[in-house]
């Protein structure tokens, strides 16, 4: 399945996960946020907020084709 991923603040890397545009990613059907983080080598401890299609989500949230994922680290006051 194909999803889009945006990373913010310290998680953003232009070639891996951009904050401006959704970066396309391919995952096996039934994958979770946890699987996505593992595939992208993003440590779980570095992610404070997770959004899927604009709704707050958790590490065990199952992703579906076309989902848009946003990841943010803990920053000032979070």
Instruction: Tell me what pLDDT residue 14 has.
Output: 65
Residue bearing the bigger pLDDT, 34 or 15:
34
Residue bearing the bigger pLDDT, 57 or 15:
57
**What is the percent of the chain where pLDDT is above 70?**
95
Residue 36 has pLDDT above 80, yes or no: yes
CATH topology of domain 2-72: Ubiquitin-like (UB roll) (3.10.20)
Per-chain mean pLDDT for the chain:
91
Residue 76 has pLDDT above 80, yes or no: no
Of 34, 43, 38, 47, the C-alpha closest to 6 is: 47
Going from N- to C-terminal start, the domains of the chain cover 2-72
Provide DSSP, the chain.
-EEEEEE-GGG-BTTTB-SSSPEEEE--TT-BHHHHHHHTT--GGG--EEEETTEE--TTPBP-TT-EEEEE---TT-
**How many Å apart are CA 65 and CA 52, to the nearest integer?**
12
């Amino acid at each position: 399945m194909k999803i889009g991923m945006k990373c913010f603040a310290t998680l953003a890397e232009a070639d891996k996960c951009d904050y401006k545009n959704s970066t396309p990613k391919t995952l096996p059907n039934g994958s979770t946020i946890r699987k996505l983080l593992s595939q992208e080598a993003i440590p779980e401890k570095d992610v404070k907020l997770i959004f899927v299609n604009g709704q707050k989500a958790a590490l065990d949230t199952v992703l579906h084709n076309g989902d848009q994922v946003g990841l943010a680290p803990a920053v000032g006051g979070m």
